[in-house]
Amino acid sequence: MKTPVLALALALAALIGAGSAVAATLTVRPGDDLAAVVKAAAPGDVVEVARGFYRVNLLIDKPLTLRGINRPTLSGGQTGDTIRVTAPDVVIEGLIVRDSGDSLKDQNAGIYLYPGAHRAVVQNCDLTYNLFGLWIEKANDVRVQGNTITGKREYNSSQRGNGVQLYNTTGARIFDNNISFMRDALYVDVSHHAIFRGNKLHHSRYGTHYMNSYHNLWEDNDSYYNRGGLALMEVRDQVVRNNRAWGNSDHGIMLRTIQDSVIENNVVAGNNRGFFIYDVEYATLRGNLVVDNVVGVHLAAGSTRNVVEGNDFIANREQVRYVGARDERWGAQSGNHWSNYLGWDRDGNGIGDVPYEANDMVDRLTWQHPSMKLLLASPAVQALRLVGQQFPILRVPSVVDPKPRMQPGNQHWSQWRGKHFSGQ
């Protein structure tokens, strides 16, 4: 009969033995069958892949770690997915993953995380010359960090896939990736409670195309040299802060049909349109620097009941383009800075004594006659602005700031001038 102490010792020995089995490390070298080793591995094993070239379409259907040593290359041979993951708790790191198939219908990807691949980690990999870099579908709490993702740059935009595609997920963490030459660098749909931080998104259609997703944080990302930087559409409860959207050929940040969101402390510079705001309600825009865009803000489709405070609108050829049935009031609490404000501050409190109107007679004339932009700094045009203010019969509904700030809040605004689109 076993004593309690002996029984406990045997149980501990069994646990230690099981733990050592889980921790087994398998090594794959050039010439070995990587798929066979992964298939034979036990759940929890570590498969280390030595530097070399491996032609494989790999299925990972159990929890394990796939780790590259000195950056081996896994090539899908331009068919199917290079790596397909169907199990939870899989870690993929330190690999070059390339050459997926070309089927948009089948969504071929360098790494495809299938439904149920919860808590997957993809880190420090190069995903190159794949149709989609990472496709993540119905897989929660994934982490994608420190990867370089590039698409098939010779393809037309419509023929490419997206860099990272999130569909129907929660809790994703997308950190510190460099993504370029895709259709959209990040495509996010029906994905909630995610964080996107520290990514560089460039040379794509959209840096981010972001739809039907709630309670997400977008922070400290750079979106540049795309058609559009950040496009938020049909979303609510977003926080978009401390990002930089510059040199995009259309918009820097698009806000379309969003509610209950905060957009703060972003730099939007050198775009055709800095902000494109369409059908937006109950949003807060504060502390943003909007500088050297062709149009600083394009405001449309009844975007109202928003709080717009403490922003700097500097050196945009056209500060605000607005067509509406009534005035839109911005800056009622503390005001915004407008570099083309012509008023004065007789009491020296830092606030202009007369309101700023963004959509005045000169703005409307430049819409109708774009060649007038060559004369915007001339005394004659400045005098015309003052005349328009004195004769209300010439006035149309406008964005009105009753407390225009005389000085910008961002003291480093000038370093963002000249950041215009380059297709290179």
Q: What is the pLDDT of residue 326?
A: 87
Count CB atoms within 10 A of the CB of residue 141: 17
d(C-alpha 262, C-alpha 194), whole Å: 15
Q: How far apart are CA 204 and CA 157, in angstroms?
A: 8
Residues 63-77: what's their mean pLDDT? 98
How far apart are the C-alpha atoms of 116 and 201, rounded to whole Å? 28
Q: What is the pLDDT of residues 367-394, one digit of tens each?
A: 556 666 566 556 766 666 666 555 555 5
The predicted model gives 293-315 an average pLDDT of 93
Q: How far apart are CA 248 and CA 268, in angstroms?
A: 10
Confidence of residue 302 (pLDDT cuts 50, 70, 90): confident
Residue bearing tokens 């195309």: 209
Tens of pLDDT, residue by residue over 164-216, are: 999 999 999 999 999 999 999 999 999 999 999 999 999 999 999 999 999 99
CA distance 73 to 168: 30
Is residue 89 within 8 A of residue 112, CB to CB? The reply is no
What are the tokens at 129?
């010359």
The model's confidence at residue 358, banded by pLDDT at 50, 70 and 90, is: confident
- pLDDT, position 13: 43
pLDDT of 17 above 60: no
Name 260's Cβ contacts closer than 8 Å, sequence gap at least 6. 236, 237, 282, 283
Buried b / exposed e across 328-344, counting CB within 10 Å, b at 16+? Answer: bebbeeebbbbebbebe
Q: How far is Cα 373 from Cα 316, in angstroms, rounded to an integer?
A: 11
Side chain identity at residue 183, one-letter code: R
The pLDDT of residue 1? 46
φ/ψ of residue 24, rounded to 5: -60, 140
Closest CA to 404 of 360, 344, 361: 344
Please tell me the distance from the alpha carbon of residue 266 to that of residue 285, in angstroms, as a whole number. Answer: 9
Q: Kindly report the pTM of this predicted structure.
A: 0.88
| Phi, psi dihedrals of residue 174, rounded to the nearest 5° | -115, 100
> pLDDT digit string (tens) for 121-155?
999 999 999 999 999 999 999 999 999 999 999 99
Is pLDDT of 360 > 80?
no
Contacts of range 342-345, beta carbons closer than 8 Å, 24 or more positions apart: 342/382, 342/385, 342/386, 343/404, 345/406
12 vs 90, more confident: 90
- The answer to whether 229 and 207 are in contact (CB under 8 A) is yes
% of the chain at pLDDT higher than 90: 79
Question: Which pLDDT score, from 0 to 100, does residue 130 have?
Answer: 98
Integer Cα distance of 199 and 175 in angstroms: 6
241-255 pLDDT, tens digit per residue, is 999 999 999 999 999
